[in-house]
Structure 1
Amino acid sequence: MKQREHHEIPCGLNIEVDTISNLPGHIVDKILSHLPLRDAVRTSILSSKWRYRWIVLPYLVFDNHSVLVSTQDQTLTKNKLVSIVDHVLLLHNGPIHKFKLSHKDLQGVSDIDRWILYLSRGSVKDFILEIWKGHRYKLPSSIYSCQKLVHLELFNCLLKPPPHFNGFKSLKSLDLQHITMDQLAFEYMISSCPLLERLTLMNFDGFALLNINAPNLLFFDVGGVFEDVSFQDTLHLAVVSIGLYVNSGIERNLAFGSTGNLIKFFACLPHIQRLEVQSFFLKYLAAGIIPGKLPTACLELSFLSIRINFNDMEENLAALCLLRSSPNLQELELLARPEEQVTARMASNASDIFQNFPFNQLRLIKIVGISGIRQELSFINFLLANTPVLERMTVKPSSVDSGWDLVKELLRFRRASMFAEIIYLDP
């Protein structure tokens, strides 16, 4: 009987297989940590030493990249997503430090309750839940037992902390977007996270007063509909971006004769370094008494961005107050709200508000969305005449209609800085 010939595996291929099989464990884990979960699971076929290596991964991410669902049937999609997450959690062996659930077809199903309960029994530090479809998903009470949390990110969720909730004692970063929560629960959660450093709030309802009490807060980003904002014990807060999405009822909570919003807002922000005033928030700051300068200067503020209606006298005064109160400002951005430019009219003596005041550190200015009206040009003229170290002013109008006339006006303005460059950008 003829014997079967023995074919040797090429030497080079042997070396490649051995190299993959004999990689140190920490290198394998590093490789797996950079792969989508779907691909990490597939590495089991590489060699016996890689088989089920993924089950000890501490970072589990279920998103559009790691979970592919090809069917258009909503029920099948939901069942497949649930099956995948269940399968991974069933096989997983070891601590889970990060759990992210964010899939375009994900809805607030009851199965999420089970997964959160499972995670609450471990040591999850980073939890991200984004519900992209359907109504607000009510978080189960077990989420409030995750006391190892360092980062919590929620999208389209309803938060109702239980009475025994004492805050997240390890939490440093909180990101809440499209959430519902009542006023007392919101205030208690913020004040009961003593290590909180970063807070993001976007499109929220259930509370309208942003009372922020966070002694270690460094970063605050908020955008939504609210009535008032106040800071308490936020002496370390350095970066603030705040946008008010409505343009009505701003002064209704301002008591007669009370301190204006400008002074109140900056009272607990002595170390602010970067400020973005977005949407209609400048109108909020302009409510009440507007001083020429703040009682305490913002000595560390180096970047200031303001969205402004140049035709509104109070907003102009508020913006000028901020500028005069920021002696070390280096970069300024002014964003016009052109949709309002025709709805308000400045007084005939409006140019009197632009009294000479040198901004000795201001080097970069960017002005966007202007249309060439008199008040805009007066503001630009004022800035050029009072910035002795200005290096560059960039101007981008809202349309091309008055472009050439605007350029001619800009070129004739006197500049305090002989090195100042004016750059015109097409809209």
Structure 2
Amino acid sequence: MNRISQLPDELLLKILSILPTKDVVATMLLSKRWQFLWTLVPRLVYDDSYQNPEYGRFSRFVDRSLFMNEAPVIETLRFKLGQICGSGDIQVWIRAAHKCCVRELIIEIVTYPSSRSPVTLPKSLYTCCRMLVTLKLSNAVLVDDVASSVSFPSFPGDEFVNRLLSSCPVLEDLVVNRSTGDNVAVFNIIVPSLKSLVLHGPWIFEAEAHGFVIDAPSLELLDVLDTTNAFFVIRSNMPKIVEANVVISCDHPEQIMGSITSVKRLCLCVKDAYPAGSIFCCLLSLKICTCETEWLNLLMHVLRDSPKLRTLKFEKCRGPENVEPRQSWIEPSAVPECLSSSLETVEWVKYKGTEEEKEVVAFILRNGSCLKTGTINPLQSTSHREKFEMIKELAFFAQAFAYFPACV
């Protein structure tokens, strides 16, 4: 302990920032050297998710430790709370967060099947934390009262979301994990400053017409996962987009596809609704899902329009086996430019050895003049006999096109 006490305050504070706040405060009993050091810790974590019956004791501990904290800036203030916690306590803590210049505020309400009602966050959340950079909310309800100015961001309704996001003029990162009962049918995201957008929908959505309207011309990262047939309206192209992960089941994904043509890394699991005239002139890495019945059409469209593609990966990424009839392989009359000039790496995850898969592998090996590495990973359930047959077939392909130095 003496050796640790000799470390400089800056290093000790970094060590203390890793610990739960209740353990940090306990260090004041170690010696005079530690008596007030805990009051300068810039990261506070309060956990009452176990719904301790002595909630009053927990509440008083939070009040006192927040009041005594003298750190110039609190980098992270995190609350993990059970249903016993009330909005009155949270209101007091949010005001304390404002005085402590909190940069990141995390409020997570742990719900249980027997929960009586959701915890409502106070109106002061909109106006108190003017130094806030990051806000993370989970299982909490916001009051629909943003008539006055808002300093930053389950939602009460569509219009509330519009007003909330419009009050965030410098918002750069937005993560939305939707739930079945979030009461927002159309999620409008009109944020010119936005650089990163993550939209993950529920497995089931109650409203018949629901979806997203996106206007984010500065976007660099897009991650969309929605299997509820939501609609997507894209109001502006995304010329700065670098990476996109698009896993959706809507009937018209061409709106998204046509707006991300500047992307460099792309993951696709969509129906074959390809926008005419799209050219992925910057695309270097493509991961394409094989679960949709028309994935072959989509593959050939993207290969044709991606002249600089270097890495290609196949993987079935979601859902049970599709019962609809699968496509038959029809070899294209023209070889995509990327196969003969840039494609270097091919990987197939969960390879089953179906006729369509074998035809695609043979086509790529036959025309991939620049290929350096090929990796085939069969399904885990594949028997040793089936794997042996796959190896013989793949070895035959590799020998037939001897210029391909693949590792299969």
Match of residue 247 from structure 2: none
| Residue 207 (structure 1) shift | 2.6
- What is the correspondence of 1:100-115 to structure 2 with a 5 Å cutoff? 100-102=78-80, 109-110=86-87, 111-115=89-93
CA distance in 2, matches of 1:324, 1:150: 42
Residue 409 of structure 1 corresponds to: 393
Q: In structure 2, the residue corresponding to 1:384 is in which secondary structure?
A: helix
Aligned to 2:239: none
- Residue among 370, 374, 377 paired with 1:396: 377
1:262 offset after TM fit, Å? 4.4
What's the TM-score once normalised by structure 1's chain length? 0.73
Is 1:43 matched up with 2:18?
no
* CA distance 1:299–1:190, change in 2 (3 Å): farther
> Are positions 1:62 and 2:46 aligned together?
yes
Question: Which residue is 2:406 aligned to?
Answer: 421
Q: Deviations over 1:220-242 (max 9, x none)?
A: 222214744453242x3233222
Tell me if the contact between 1:309 and 1:338 (Cα under 8 Å) persists in the aligned partners: yes
Among 254, 257, 266, the alignment partner of 1:275 is: 266
Aligned residue-pair number: 370
2-side partners of 1:322 and 1:119: how far apart?
49
Alpha-carbon contact 2:266-2:287 (below 8 Å) kept: yes
Residue of 364, 376, 388 corresponding to 1:383: 364
After superposition, the C-alpha distances for 1:375-424 in whole angstroms (9 at most, x for unaligned) are: 2323333333343323323222332144333333333336878354244x
Work out the CA distance in 1 between the residues paired with 2:67 and 2:289.
51
| 1:59–1:98 contact (8 Å) kept in structure 2 | yes
Please, what TM-score do these two structures have when normalized by structure 2? 0.75
Question: Structure 1, residues 235-274: CA drift from partner, whole Å, max 9, x if none?
Answer: x32332221233xx56899xxxxxx844421444354333
Change (3 A) 1:136 1:410: farther
Of residues 88, 101, 104, the one that matches 1:123 is: 101
Indicate how the Cα distance of structure 1 residues 153 and 117 shifts in structure 2: closer, same or farther if over 3 A, else same. Answer: same
Deviation of 1:155 (Å): 1.5
1:28-427 alignment runs, 5 A limit: 28-63=12-47, 74-76=51-53, 78-94=55-71, 95-102=73-80, 109-110=86-87, 111-134=89-112, 136-145=118-127, 146-164=129-147, 166-168=149-151, 179-204=154-179, 205-225=182-202, 227-234=210-217, 236-246=218-228, 249=229, 261-277=252-268, 282-283=270-271, 286-287=272-273, 290-291=274-275, 295-309=277-291, 312-313=293-294, 315-336=295-316, 340-341=320-321, 343-348=323-328, 350-352=329-331, 356-359=335-338, 360-398=341-379, 399-401=381-383, 402-413=386-397, 418-423=403-408
> Alpha-carbon deviations, 1:155-207, whole Å to 9, x = none?
112234423354546x8xxxxxxx44522333443343232222222233323
Identity over the aligned pairs, expressed in percent?
Answer: 25
Partner SS for 2:34? coil
Return closer, same or farther for 1:147/1:361 CA change in 2, 3 Å cut-off. farther
Distance 1:416 1:221 in 2: 42
Larger radius of gyration: 1
Shift of 1:36: 3.6
Runs of 5+ unmatched residues, structure 2: 234-250
Q: Distance in 2 between matches of 1:297 and 1:338?
A: 27
